[in-house]
Amino acid sequence: MAKKPKVTINDIARLAQTSKTTVSFYLNGKFDKMSVETKDRIATVIEEQQYRPSVATRSLNAKSMKLIGVLIGDITNDFANQIVKGIDEIAKTHNYQLIVGNSNYTFESESDYIDRMLSMGVDGFIVQPTIQFKALIPKIRANGKSLVFIDSQTDMESNAWVKTNNYEAVLETTFELVDKGYNDFILLTVIPVSSVHEWNAVAALPTH
């Protein structure tokens, strides 16, 4: 049995006797300059053909895809799960959806995910970055996308940053342990230390 040809936006435009641009406007909810007859005709053809537009098609002439790219260092971490859940809850109240990536704290994965998410038309990024992520910031800005760092941060002067204060947390914990009579400490982290919050934790220990 021959495979049914995939229906394209060009097919919808031809069957609805209108232009590709008009169909794109319809798919993105821009009806202000569209007649009721044209709108109904496009809707009928889409239903008859069971057409499902691709992300690329929907992004044509769209000002916002209502998509946020979320890049997490380690998605298996309970803390990361709580972050993603919180972001998703707030995003839904504004009719946004998330595309979540797990970088494993490697710059190569970060770069791949940023390229992929940009091609999908995300409106902005929320990133738990490695120190090397700074190299990707110009590309994000060149595409006109918003960028917010969580937990870790690479360019404090020019980007939004929501963080946990690891330096103060380790410092306070160390004080409490010293008060209880503990004097020798071991901090376990990855080698090499790849994120700013790990450096903050390391920096807090030598003061004691």
What CATH number corresponds to the domain at position 23?
1.10.260.40
Q: How does residue 127 score in pLDDT terms, banded at 50, 70 and 90?
A: very high
Q: Are residues 125 and 97 in the same domain?
A: yes
Q: Do 20 and 88 belong to one domain?
A: no
Q: Do 94 and 155 share a domain, yes or no?
A: yes
Together in a domain, 96 and 179: no
Categorize the per-residue pLDDT at 195 as very low, low, confident or very high, splitting at 50, 70 and 90.
low
Question: What is the Cβ-side half-sphere exposure of residue 90, based on CA atoms within 13 angstroms?
Answer: 7
Rounded to 5°, angle at Cα 133 from 132 and 136: 120
- Let me know whether 173 and 158 are in one domain: no
100 and 125 share one domain: yes
pLDDT class of 197 with cuts at 50, 70, 90: low
Per-residue confidence (pLDDT) for residue 38, from 0 to 100: 93
Neighbour tally for 64: CB within 10 Å: 13
pLDDT of amino acid 60: 53
Domains of the chain: total? 3
Are 78 and 54 in the same domain?
no
Asked whether residue 4 is domain-assigned, the answer is: no
Band of the pLDDT at 24, cuts 50, 70, 90? Answer: confident
Helix axes 36-49, 20-27, angle to 10 degrees: 80
The domain of 16 spans: 9-59
pLDDT category at 54 given cuts 50, 70, 90 is: low
Q: Does residue 133 sit within a domain? A: yes
The secondary structure of residue 5, as a DSSP letter, is P
In the chain, the percentage of residues whose pLDDT exceeds 90 is 38
Query: d(Cα 45, Cα 49) in Å, to the nearest integer?
Result: 6
Q: 182 and 118, same structural domain?
A: no
State how far the Cα of 208 lies from the Cα of 196, in Å rounded to an integer.
20
**Could you tell me if 99 and 157 lie in one domain?**
yes
Is there a domain that residue 2 lies in? no
The answer on 82 and 142 residing in a single domain is: yes
Would 3 be classed as within a structural domain? no
Average pLDDT over residues 19-48: 87
3-class SS at 193? coil
Q: In this structure, are 157 and 89 located in the same domain?
A: yes
